[in-house]
Amino acid sequence: MNKQPIVIRIEIILKNISFLLAPIKELFYGIKSNTIPWQYCACWMAASSFILLLRIDHFLISHSRFKSLYPYYSPLYKLYAFSFATLGFWTWAWVQVKKRKEKLSKLTAAFKNAGLESKIGRLPNLISDFSLDPIIRKMRVTNAGFPLSKFQEQAKYLDAELGIYIDLIKEDREARTIDIIYSHFPMANEVPYVPDEASKSLEYIVGRTRAYTLTTNFRDTPHLLVAGQTGGGKSTFLRQLILNIHLNSKSTKFLLIDLKGGLEFSLFENRKQFVVVPSVLAAVEELKSIDKILDERMTLLKAHQCKDLESYNRKNEAAKAVYLDRQMIVVDEAAEMFLAGHHAKSKDVQIARGILSRIARQGRAVGVHLVIATQRPDSRSLDPQVKANLTGVLCFQMMNDASSIAVLGNGRATDLPKIPGRAIWKNGIEMLEVQTPILTVEEAERFLGPSEKPKKNGLSSAIDPESSFTADMKSKKEDYRSPQE
Ligand SMILES: Nc1ncnc2c1ncn2[C@@H]1O[C@H](COP(=O)(O)OP(=O)(O)OP(=O)(O)O)[C@@H](O)[C@H]1O
Ligand SMILES: [Mg+2]
């Protein structure tokens, strides 16, 4: 007997085994990446168990011409019942096998056409391909001996060949793998600011995803963290957020703490609803007055048995009594506030930390909201207690995985392309890539119109007893006598 037929036979057996193993592998990947449609599979399991229990299957088959095929023999029946009940999972797994095959042949052609085939015919091999969010996917392939630069050079060919939009290509040198972050939807690299896209009270635009404009509001997300390395677009985002909230909720008061020299928020200076403070010392003074507002509002809500500011205002609307407006505290470069040293004394830092932490914990109910922007999200530069209460997170590109993990819990912000305004929005478990709207200082000034108050220099206006916040406190004190008085 010659050897050839045995080898061929073994090959056939191996092929069949791998054919049978393929759906099991897909099920394993599905469980690992949590992509199995559990609800549908569970529904099928419940329905099939019902059919088996009532022997509906037996009834139907015994009345057909296939009745001789029904597995009466016990072990065979067990196998049949198991396969029938888990059919949902197997169907899904086979569809995945088919999709993977199609993808592989497409990929093979794409890599060949993009010149990513080595002299010995080696091609990058697909390891995994899964979704990072409903729109973005991550494909991992072996590098087939090619450097990262070769993949990056060929990105536009791969884009065209595969009909996808590649955002980023990066490599894991040790594992010799290449990660391709892509989507089937194009993403704009610049999005204009259109205030009508978020026109409800306390609503603002987060950015444009690949499919729609994402908006949120301070009722659903009471406090916000804006993080990212320099030049990402934090201050530009804060500018449009402040303007949007101002245009939508004219009674909202803003304390803008600008610790980068007082330049970012200067366009809001000398305007009625805004107080701009350029130093930690001035910020601490204003924060102290907010701390008192917090105390007084808490007492007031308790006295009126209201759970939050909104129910208090509703209750008092009929009586045409006191209306408590929202207060927004925006800090640009929070690290300057939390790190004692050049800009701040440690006593000031302690006070500011304490008050900001209290606002983050209790501000929601009394209508005091916090927006904190920082380049450095580590625990030294941003109080962990404050951070834990900032439920909405917008993270622009980060330099390294550690910073991205500190903000988002994963490395997605390092996967972002280097485009100003590109960020990841995280709210609860939802994580979406967005392009934040661009709003220049000049445009913002046009929306705001001419300033109402005479110009004063930063610090003096900040601790001015008639500044918006301290003045608000005064008026509140009068209000607190009792709306019915
Ligand atoms: N959404 C955007 N779309 C397009 N370009 C943007 C966007 N946001 C910012 N930019 C561009 O990037 C530049 C830097 O933005 P910005 O000053 O907001 O960054 P930053 O994150 O605040 O940086 P830093 O941490 O140094 O203060 C802007 O001058 C603008 O040209
Ligand atoms: Mg900035």
Q: Is 231 in the pocket of ligand 1 (CB under 6 A)?
A: yes
Answer yes or no: is pLDDT of 28 > 90. no
Helix/strand/coil for 167 = strand
Residues with Cβ within 8 Å of 167's Cβ and at least 6 positions away in sequence, in order, are 136, 181, 182, 183, 187, 415, 416, 417, 433
Kindly give the number of the ligand 1 atom that is closest to the alpha carbon of 396. 21
What's the pLDDT score for residue 476?
Answer: 41
Give domain limits for the chain. Answer: 28-85, 101-186, 191-479
Q: Is 397 in the pocket of ligand 1 (CB under 6 A)?
A: no
Structure tokens belonging to residue 360: 């983050």
Answer yes or no: is pLDDT of 474 > 50. no
Mean pLDDT of 101-116: 89
Residue 274 has φ and ψ, to the nearest 5°, of -120, 140
- Which CATH code of 3.40.50.460, 3.40.50.300, 3.40.220.10, 3.40.50.1980 fits the domain covering 191-479? 3.40.50.300
What's the pLDDT score for residue 464?
Answer: 39
Among 187, 189, 204, 236, which residue has the most ligand 1 atoms within 8 Å of its CB, making it the best to mutate? 236
Q: Is 374 in the pocket of ligand 1 (CB under 6 A)?
A: no
Q: Is 37 in the pocket of ligand 1 (CB under 6 A)?
A: no
Mean pLDDT of 142-164: 89
Count other C-beta atoms under 10 Å from residue 401's C-beta.
Answer: 14
CA of residue 325 to ligand 1 center, whole Å: 30
Kindly give the number of the ligand 1 atom that is closest to the alpha carbon of 232. 21
Among 191, 208, 225, 235, which residue has the most ligand 1 atoms within 8 Å of its CB, making it the best to mutate? 235
What's the pLDDT score for residue 483?
Answer: 35
Q: Is 233 in the pocket of ligand 1 (CB under 6 A)?
A: yes
Answer yes or no: is pLDDT of 461 > 80. no
Answer yes or no: is pLDDT of 45 > 90. yes
| Most confidently modeled range among 32-36, 339-343, 362-366, 383-387 | 362-366
Confidence label for 320 from pLDDT (cuts 50, 70 and 90): low
Q: Of 45-59, 68-82, 267-281, 333-347, which gets the smallest average pLDDT?
A: 333-347
More confident residue, 439 or 339: 439
Cα dihedral 79, 80, 84, 90 sign: positive
Confidence label for 72 from pLDDT (cuts 50, 70 and 90): confident
Which ligand lies nearest the alpha carbon of 396? 1
**Alpha-carbon gap, residue 382 to 339, rounded angstroms:** 8
Q: Of 62-71, 144-153, 416-425, which gets the smallest average pLDDT?
A: 62-71
CA of residue 228 to ligand 2 center, whole Å: 9
Q: Of 250-254, 341-345, 467-471, which gets the smallest average pLDDT?
A: 467-471
Which ligand lies nearest the alpha carbon of 332? 2
Residue nearest to atom 26 of ligand 1 (CA): 230
CATH superfamily of 101-186: Threonyl-trna Synthetase; Chain A, domain 2 (3.30.980.10)
More confident residue, 461 or 40: 40
Question: How many angstroms from the chain centroid is the CA of residue 139?
Answer: 20
